[in-house]
Structure 1
Amino acid sequence: MKEIIFQALPQLFTLENFVFVNLGIFIGIIFGSIPGLNGNLAITVLIPFTFKLGSVPALLMLTAIFFGSNFGGSITAILINTPGTNAAAATLLDGYPLSKKGKTRKALDMALAASTFGGLVSALCLLFFAPQISKIAIHFGAPEYFALAVFGLSVIASVSGRSILKGVISGAFGVLIATVGIDAVSGVTRFTFGSLQMYNGIKMLAVLLGVYAIAQMISRVNGTEEEEAGTELKKADPSDRLTLGELKSTVPTILKSSAIGAFIGAIPGTGGAIASYIAYNEAKRCAKPGEKFGEGELKGIAAPESANNGATAATLIPLLTLGIPGDAVAATLLGAFTMHGLVVGPKLFSTSGPVVYAILIGCVISQIVMFLQGKYLLPLFVKITHIPQELLTALLVVICCTGAFSLANSSFDVRVMLIFGCIAYFMQKVELPPVPIILGIVLGPIAEANLRNSLVLSDGSWTIFFKRPICLAFIILTFVLIWLLKKNDKKQRSMEAEFLKKYGENTEK
């Protein structure tokens, strides 16, 4: 391990990487701080433009966008009572009341400090635990990979909104899309309809751009995307800064909430939003006499911010070690890793060790860069939130079309992007979640290929999946995960209902 780390350091510490990490954090904070945009959208839009970059600078920038956007969501949560990201919904509960008291800068400083510490804990967990998990997973065979893919598909339950059935329908549609092209096993063409352009299948990035970017732009044009238009940002007293004593008083809360975030983030299908609610409730439960949560309590900002940022890098643990994208952002990053020649999963650390370690160490450095940018560029980020929404929408559509065309210098991918954008938009209108489409596209081929290989090994007997302990464990975990997700979903809805009742409907992005 030490040798690989020493090989990784020269690949990491270059001027190019420094520039792209800073750029990623900057873009992430901007996209996170503007309601209606998010880090996943930024990552999706920029992936096609990273093709000519090396894998290390490209992936460092994309992961930095992820980290920066989580902190960015707290800016508008504190300033205008509207979270820039779903993960920042709990932050406004005490952030906005503190801002209304004229202590905006104190609230933002608290959010920045908690976000940085939570992010560092998460990145360190990724750095130290991911390689150990991969050492176990490297012994998997085809049956284990099939069971693992099925376990990954169960994550659909967490992104299905109010109906798992609708999520399954969306996921099945994604699996169907993944079958388009030439079958790698039999060589038979499937669902190409005589089009030579479809022989190689439908590019996942074109679908990503349509589902995540174009659908959202259509929603914004039609006014279905909620915005906080015409709201004035409150200016803080320059002398009102977070003191060292105030920071020390929140350290136990930050430590506990960061651990909660890292643990929950590592579980597929959870993420920062759930972590922030749980951490906030835990901080509130342990409140001392005189601490008034909901009225501008600093611990009420520290808990959700350290938890949602504590979940960021941790969500990459199942992705890098098992090849399972735990949420929508992880699914997008899976596409980015694949496009740069890195096959995520148990063999990633053995086949691309130095590159992966460079990225993991870079995730730790990204948190420090985020702190420095948040400390010195915060006034700029606040001003950027005033950019007209119409201008942003038009600019993003142009960037998306350019990115889709650059995939193969073909207008076919642009058409695919636009078609899937329209499909995703209409799915949203009938409350069919579009995110499971991506999970189906990613995990469907893995499940299919390893199912067929497993049945060949067992002469067509399905008992192979129940005779192997790891397979059986994943099958059991699949049902346990679905049950836990349903339980957590009910708990989260009750929390959100309570928050909405008390603070209005700005807790939804």
Structure 2
Amino acid sequence: MELINNLAMGLGVAVTFQNLLYALAGAILGTLIGVLPGLGPVATIAMLLPSIYSLDATPALIMLAGIYYGAQYGGSTTAILINVPGEASSVVTALDGYQMARRGRAGPALAAAGLGSFFAGTVGTLVIAAFAPPLTELAFKFGPAEYFSLMVMGLIGAVVLASGSLVKAIAMILLGLLIGQINTDVISGVPRYSFDIPELTDGISFVVIAMGVFGFGEIIVNLSRPAETREVFTKDVKGLWPTKEDFRQATPAVLRGTVLGSVLGVLPGGGALLASFAAYTLEKKSRAKPGEVPFGQGNIRGVAGPESANNAGAQTSFIPMLTLGIPPNAVMALMVGAMTIKGIQPGPQVMTSNPELFWGLIASMWVGNLILVVLNLPLIGIWIKLLTVPYRFLFPAIVVFCCIGSYTLNNNNFDVYMTAAFALVGWAFHKMGCEPAPLLLGFVLGPMMEENLRRALLLSRGDWTTFLTRPLSAGLLIAAALMIVVVMLPSIKNKREEAFQGDD
């Protein structure tokens, strides 16, 4: 009964005119940046962070959340129509979605992606509403030692579940932790690693790193690629509604993808990307029915399963961020940054001190998913037209927006120069095949880990065994150690490499 009352309160907050407007803006913008290859929710939210200073916390977070799950919808459109995943989590959607488009079935493919996404998003929202309160109760039992152990487990989880090389993922985490140490020591008041540069005594801005590595970095990477002419199947986008046979095949895939995505979305570093890969692997291993189109040649299950999984994963990745204050992926790290900008401490106290924000954000996700499914099917033609905008017109606008955003942080040119420096770092990461998302997680969690480590040692008078004598802390550290052991097993290592082989 309490859950229903809380959801009713949240719905009352979400359907106010202002919040509906920002949910609509976030959904449309999210779909737009999902459709445009080379942009993504991380880059877009990073660019928009300076704009939320003038907004109240609730509409600001509703808009940013809408951008995130809206991008999961938009990414499937380009994956199906032109074989260019607008989002990393749509990589596997392209495998069968593009083949469906080539067979003249782009309409059913886009409809399966849209309807599967809506169902999964709705279930994901209900999972958040059901599991967030008990997790919040548990979070109140966390002391500094438990929080430190939880963050250690989160960083190890991010490494284990990161796509690509384990060594590179570890290097990115460590680099993020080191960059997070550039600030003034909170206890002694002594500047650390500032090299006598006054602007560095307060640390490097989170927005500067995110804009540079993801915003500018993506632009440099895209400009280095040759422009290729790709076939767009605009003439085949008709008869949107799938047939009865399509529904019969897609429904079990949607259900499996939703369950898988809801579970994997909570894991650190997992989220939508891992969920979509895992769902596609699961569908390929499921027994094919007689007469069913082979995978890789236009099987609708290869579209419905991953699209449901990545949307469910996108929704449930809010759980650790809202209840524990621990971001499981780069987008949630940006959401933590947005909450900090608005003076809100992420963690269990959000639900008790800001119940309207907490439940309003959750209810807005359901409203946003409804907006997305209503918008996306009729507006496919418009999204296709946006794909024809030459990149030479697109990238100068993004550069200008990033520079204005960086400057307005502190009205200081230094932030713009730092953003440009991190743009080169982001480009270098791409050249070396390094995934930059773990760096952002390390940067966000580093100062929090240090603070909780020092607080735990102060309370225990320097006794390091406090992390092992407290049951909850010890359990989290054991889970982290088991993750390392499991991922190093040869059979698991090979399966991991196989699962991420398409993520290039």
TM-score range, shorter chain: over 0.9
Matches of 2:237 and 2:266 in 1, distance apart? 39
164, 167, 170: which one pairs with 2:166? 164
Query: What TM-score, normalized to structure 2?
Result: 0.93
Matches of 1:191 and 1:159 in 2, distance apart? 31
How much has 1:216 moved relative to structure 2? Answer: 1.2
CA contact (8 A) 1:275 1:308 kept: yes
Tell me the alpha carbon deviations over residues 154-201 of structure 1, each in whole angstroms, 9 at most, x when there is no partner.
134147554333333322222222222221122122122333322222
Matches of 1:4 and 1:125 in 2, distance apart? 14
How much has 1:64 moved relative to structure 2? Answer: 0.7
Deviates further, 373-382 or 420-429: 420-429
The answer for the alignment partner of 1:257 in structure 2 is: 257
CA contact (8 A) 2:249 2:300 kept: no
The answer for the alignment partner of 2:410 in structure 1 is: 408
Query: What TM-score, normalized to structure 1?
Result: 0.92
CA contact (8 A) 1:30 1:385 kept: no
The answer for the alignment partner of 2:495 in structure 1 is: 491
91, 98, 101: which one pairs with 2:100? 98
Question: For 1:5-20, what aligned pairs fall within 5 Å after superposition?
Answer: 5=7, 7-20=9-22
The answer for the alignment partner of 2:473 in structure 1 is: 471
Tell me the alpha carbon deviations over residues 418-451 of structure 1, each in whole angstroms, 9 at most, x when there is no partner.
1112122223323344322211211111111111
Matched, 1:209 2:207: no
CA contact (8 A) 2:163 2:500 kept: no
Tell me the alpha carbon deviations over residues 231-270 of structure 1, each in whole angstroms, 9 at most, x when there is no partner.
4344226345324664355323211221111111111121
Matched, 1:393 2:395: yes
The amino acid across from 1:288 in the alignment is K
Deviates further, 363-372 or 14-23: 14-23
The 1:346–1:484 alpha-carbon spacing in structure 2 relative to 1, beyond 3 Å, is farther
Tell me the alpha carbon deviations over residues 401-426 of structure 1, each in whole angstroms, 9 at most, x when there is no partner.
11111112222211221111212222
The answer for the alignment partner of 1:501 in structure 2 is: none
149, 152, 174: which one pairs with 2:151? 149
Matches of 1:327 and 1:261 in 2, distance apart? 14
Matched, 1:288 2:289: yes
Matches of 1:303 and 1:132 in 2, distance apart? 29
The answer for the alignment partner of 1:298 in structure 2 is: 300
How much has 1:485 moved relative to structure 2? Answer: 5.5
What SS does the aligned partner of 1:333 have?
helix
The answer for the alignment partner of 1:107 in structure 2 is: 109
The answer for the alignment partner of 2:126 in structure 1 is: 124
How much has 1:297 moved relative to structure 2? Answer: 2.4
The amino acid across from 2:353 in the alignment is T
Question: For 1:19-418, what aligned pairs fall within 5 Å after superposition?
Answer: 19-158=21-160, 161-223=163-225, 228-236=228-236, 238-239=238-239, 241-243=241-243, 246-284=246-284, 285-294=286-295, 295-418=297-420
The amino acid across from 1:280 in the alignment is Y
> Among the aligned pairs, what percent are the same residue?
32
CA contact (8 A) 1:159 1:433 kept: no
The amino acid across from 1:276 in the alignment is S
The answer for the alignment partner of 1:502 in structure 2 is: none
- How many residues in Structure 1 have an aligned counterpart in Structure 2? 498
- Gaps spanning 5+ residues in structure 2: where? none
What SS does the aligned partner of 1:329 have?
helix
The amino acid across from 1:112 in the alignment is G
The 1:496–1:184 alpha-carbon spacing in structure 2 relative to 1, beyond 3 Å, is closer
The amino acid across from 2:495 in the alignment is K
What SS does the aligned partner of 1:311 have?
helix
The amino acid across from 1:480 in the alignment is L
The 1:262–1:484 alpha-carbon spacing in structure 2 relative to 1, beyond 3 Å, is farther
The 1:82–1:428 alpha-carbon spacing in structure 2 relative to 1, beyond 3 Å, is closer
CA contact (8 A) 1:257 1:303 kept: yes
How much has 1:6 moved relative to structure 2? Answer: 5.5
The 1:240–1:402 alpha-carbon spacing in structure 2 relative to 1, beyond 3 Å, is closer
Q: Please tell me the root mean square deviation across aligned C-alpha atoms, in Å.
A: 2.2
- Gaps spanning 5+ residues in structure 1: where? 498-506
